[in-house]
Amino acid sequence: MQYYLYVLRVITGRKPRGVLYNVLRRPQLRQKKDETFSEFIMRVGVDLKERPEHYFHRWEVPVSEDEMDAFERDLAIYVKDFIAWHEGSLSHYKNPRACLQPWACEFLPICGAGRREGFYTRERLFQELDV
């Protein structure tokens, strides 16, 4: 959300006050065993007309100018780090929260123990981008 607000602020010069979320809820209804798909869709349509407040929600999420300024400061740091990494003056760093959640990362043997058996490095990372 913050990226969108930042870009809006940069493009328009206006300071956004927040975000308006329009949320559509999926029906919790399930097709019955003896019900055709058409009958099921019609039943969902009837439920939607009877309970629109169940399916359609709108939330206003205010964002303060202080929050926007903090995001912009953090973004400047991230961009600076990315440029330094891209130019080779900053090494790669690991994301330790990604190692075991929600399951073990496939690269854990390399990061955790330096074992590279079964891994290889491609000469061209994105072949589809070659012209």
Q: In a 3-state reduction of DSSP, which class is residue 53?
A: helix
**For residue 32, what are the domain limits?**
2-93
pLDDT the model gives residue 69: 92
According to the model, what pLDDT value does residue 24 have?
95
In a domain, 130, yes or no: no
3-state SS assignment for residue 80: helix
Q: Is residue 126 domain-resident?
A: no
Give domain status of residue 87, yes or no.
yes
Q: How confident is the model at residue 48, as a pLDDT?
A: 96
**pLDDT (0 to 100) of residue 86:** 93
In a domain, 40, yes or no: yes
* Other CB atoms within 10 A of residue 36 CB: 10
Q: How many domains does the chain have?
A: 1
b/e map 7-20, b = 16+ CB within 10 Å = eebeeeeeebeeee
**DSSP E strand boundaries for the chain:** 18-24, 56-62
| Measured distance CA(120)–CA(131) in Å, rounded | 24
Distance between CA atoms of 46 and 27, rounded to whole angstroms?
Answer: 11
Domain annotation covers residue 112? no
Q: Both ends of the chain: CA-CA distance in Å?
A: 35
Examine residue 110 and state whether it is found in any structural domain, yes or no.
Answer: no
pLDDT in 10s for each residue of the chain, 131 residues: 899 999 999 999 998 999 999 999 999 999 999 999 999 999 999 999 999 999 999 999 999 999 999 999 999 999 999 999 999 998 887 777 888 888 888 888 988 888 999 999 888 888 888 87
For residues 84 and 63, what is the distance between their CA atoms, to the nearest angstrom? 30
